[in-house]
A and B are shown apart, each in its own frame.
Chain A
Amino acid sequence: MAILIDEQSRFIIQGITGREAVTMTRELLNYGAQVVGGVTPGRKGRDVHGVPVEDTVRAFTERMHVDGAIVAVPPAFTADAVHEAIEAGIKLIVIVTERVPRRQVAQFVEYAEQEGARIIGPNCLGIISPGKSKMGGIGGAAESTRRAFTPGHIGVMSRSGGMTVEIANALTEAGLGQSTAVSIGGDAIIGSSYAELMPLFEADPATHGIAIYSEPGGPMEAQLADYMRESNSRLPVVAFMAGRFMDAMPGVRFGHAGTIVEGRADTTAEKIARMEAAGIAVAERIEQIPALLKQRLGA
C-alpha cells in the first residue's frame, strides 16, 4: 500500500507542452506512471511522448475517470488551471509551479476544501510511491529515481523538494525503503501540511514510520507537534532541522501580529523544543535519520 497514488492512479498534466513538462512526461512514463492525457489550450490533437493533448480538462474527465492532475503551467495561469481541475471533479492536484501569489493559493485551497479535493504544493516536486507511480518531477529521470527511492515502509514529507529526495536516498542507502514520499511545497500557504497528511499515513498499513525535513519559519512543525500530542499516533516520527544558522542572524523577525496569531516564535531552536516535547526525534544530520527510525521501529 501507499498513500495518495499507486500503480492504478491515472492522471493528466496541465501545461504538458511546456519544456520542463515534456521532460517530466517522459520521466513519468519511463517510471511506469499512468499519464493518460495532457492539457494545453490550442494544442488539441497533438501528443507528447504518445500522451494525447486536449484543450480542456473536461475533454478527459467527460470520457474517463481521472484520479489526479499535475499543474505545470506558468504562475500567471496556475490559479485558473487549478480551478479548472477542481471544477472538473479531479480530487488530487499536484502543483509544481513556483511563485504563485499567496492570495490565489489561499483561494484555490479553500475551493478544494469545499469540493473535497486535495492539493499538494504549490512549489513542490510532487509525490512518489516507489515502485508504483509518481506525480511530478520528483527524483528526475526514471533510473535516477529508482536509485534514490526504493519501496518500503517509511513515509517521507518535506517542505524542500530537493531534500525529499536526499532524505529518501539516505533511507535507501541504509536499507529503509519508502511507502510514499511527498514534497509538500515551500510556500507560506500550501495545500497539505505535515499534520494534514499524517492521518493518511496513519491509515496506511504499509507505513511504519515517518521522516520529515523542517526549516525555520511558519507554523507547520508546531502544527505537527500538536497533532502528535493529540492523536495518539502509532507512527514514530524523525525530523531533520535545517537552517539552524538563521537563529543567529538578525533581521528576520516576526512582527506583533505573527506572534499573536501563532502564539510562539518560529526559530529552529523553538521548533526543535516543541517537536521533541511531542516525542518527535530531531536529527542533526541527514544520515542520523535511518538509525533514529530503526531504534524506534525496533528493527
Chain B
Amino acid sequence: MRFYEYEAKQLLAKHGVALPKRTFARTADEAASAARELGGATVLKSQVLTGGRMKAGGVLFAATPEEARTAAERILALPISGQQPAGVLVEERRDIAQEYYVAVTWDARAKRPVIVFSDMGGIDIEEVAQTHPAHVSRTHFSNLRPLSDYVAKLAVARTGVTGNDLAPLTRIVLNLARIFVQYDLTLAEINPLAKLSDGSFIALDSHMDMEEEARGGQRALLAELAIADTDTRQARPPTPFEVDGARVDAADTRGVAGRVVEFDGNMGLVIGAGGGSLTLFDAVRSAGGKPANYCEIGGNPSVAKAAALTKLVLSKPGVQKIAVMMNVVSNTRADIMARGVIKGCIDAGRDPAQTIAIFRIPGSWEEEGAKILRRYGVEYVDRSVSMHEAAQRAVAKMG
C-alpha cells in the first residue's frame, strides 16, 4: 500500500530527516491560511497515490496566500490518473543548490534490500541511470546482520561524494534504510533530496510503499497516520461489485474467492487461481471473448463460497453466461465446485444449462463433478481439452 507524500514526510520527520516547513490542507481556505502562517513563497502539491504530478499540473507555486488559495482550488479540482486528490500539501519554497536521489527497495534477484543513491537526482533519474551510471550506486545490505553506518556511507561515497557532504548524506541514507526495515516497506524513496544554498540537506519529495501483508503487524503506524483498515489505497476505489467480491471471500475461511475486478464484457468468469486466472483471462480475450470480470477462486473453497461468487458474477448487468474454468487442480475438489456454481445459478434464478457456457476443472473428484453437471445439462470438458480450447468453446456460445 502506498502512502501519501504528507504521510511519508511524517515518517521522515519522526526519524530525524530534515524537511521543508509544511501543512497538509484539505480545502483552499486551509491552504491559504497555511501559506499565511508559513510566510513567503510556497509550493502546493496535489496529494494523490500516483507519480507524474508535476507534468499533470498537480504542483503549483504561489507568492502570496491569495495565490496559494487559487492554486489549491485548481489542484483540488484536478484529478490525476483518475484520482481525486486527498488534499494539498503546502510547503515553504527553498533555494536548491543541488538535487540528489536516494531509495531503498527490494532486489528480488539478490533477495536483499538495495540502496540506490545518486548525486544527480530529480525527475529524470531513470535516464541518469542509463547515461551516467557512475553517478548511480547500488548497495545491498544483509537481512541478518545489523544495519551499520558503513553501508550507507558506501552508497553515498560510491558516487564520488566526499568532504563535508558525506556525513550528513550518510545519516539521511541510513535513516531511510532504517525506516524501510522498521515499517516493512517495499519502497522508501526521497527524490529530490536537496542540498540548500546554506549547505544543509532536506527531503523535498518522498514516496513510500508498505507491503500489504504487513498491515496487521504495522497497526501502530497506521493508527499514528490515522489510516483506517477500510482504506485500501488502491489507485482507484473499488466498485460495489468488487467490494461484494471481497465480502464473499471474507464470509468463509475455506478457500479463496477473491481479487474480483470488474470489466465491461458479457461473459462472466469463475476462474482460478493465480496463474490459471491469468492464463484463462488471456485465453478468453484471444478467442474474441469479452470478460465481465477477472477473479481468482481456488484453495478448495466450500460450496457456499463457490455459489456466492457465481451469484455475484451473475448479478452484474449484461452478463449472459459464465465460464467455469481452472487448471488441473491439486487440492480444489471438482465436485464441490460443480455443486457451488449450480447452486449459484439457481440462487440467481438462472438455468444452469443455459447459463454455464462451459465447466473445465480437471483433478480430484472430477468424475463426481461430471455426474452432477450432466444431471443439470451443463457442458463439461476434461483435461483432454486445453484451457485455451475450453475458453474458445465458451466464447463460441456467446451471442
Interface residues of A (CB under 8 A from B): 20, 23, 75, 99-103, 106-107, 109-111, 114, 125, 137-141, 144, 147-148, 158-163, 165-166, 169-170, 173, 186, 188-189, 193, 213, 215, 218-220, 223, 240, 242-246, 250-251, 255-263, 284-287
Contact = CB atoms under 8 A, between A and B. Distances in A.
Contacts of A250: 81
B326 A162 contact: yes
Contact of B330 (A107, A144, A170): A144
Interface stretch (B38-46, B278-286, B341-349): B278-286
Given A111-B144, A255-B207, A285 B274 contact: no
A218 B285 CA distance: 24
B213 A102 contact: yes
Interface of B: 51, 81, 101, 103-109, 111-114, 116, 125-126, 129, 136, 138, 142-144, 181, 184, 186-187, 189, 191, 207, 209, 211, 213-214, 217, 235-236, 272-276, 278-279, 281-283, 285-286, 298, 326-331, 362-364, 383-384, 386-389
B274 A110 contact: no
| 10 nearest A-B pairs in the assembled complex, by CB-CB distance | A160-B275, A166-B327, A243-B278, A257-B103, A163-B275, A242-B278, A140-B330, A162-B327, A242-B279, A287-B386
B111 A110 contact: yes
B55 to A, nearest CB: 14
A23 to B, nearest CB: 8
B290 to A, nearest CB: 12
Contact of A101 (B211, B283, B330): B211
Contacts of B136: 260
11 contacts: A75-B213, A103-B181, A106-B111, A138-B330, A162-B330, A163-B276, A165-B327, A186-B275, A223-B109, A245-B278, A255-B51
Contacts of A20: 331
Contacts of B213: 75, 99-102
A171 to B, nearest CB: 12
Contacts of A218: 108
Nearest to B188: A257
Given A101-B214, A162-B330, A285-B388, A257 B111 contact: no
Nearest to A213: B275
A147 B329 CA distance: 12
B364 A144 contact: yes
A54 B104 CA distance: 42
A163 B327 contact: yes
Q: Quick one: which of A23, A111, A141, A159 has the most chain B CB within 10 A?
A: A141
A110 B145 CA distance: 10
Contacts of A159: 275
Nearest to A257: B103
A245 B142 contact: no
Nearest to A141: B364
B218 to A, nearest CB: 10
Given A102-B213, A188-B106, A260-B125, A158 B386 contact: no
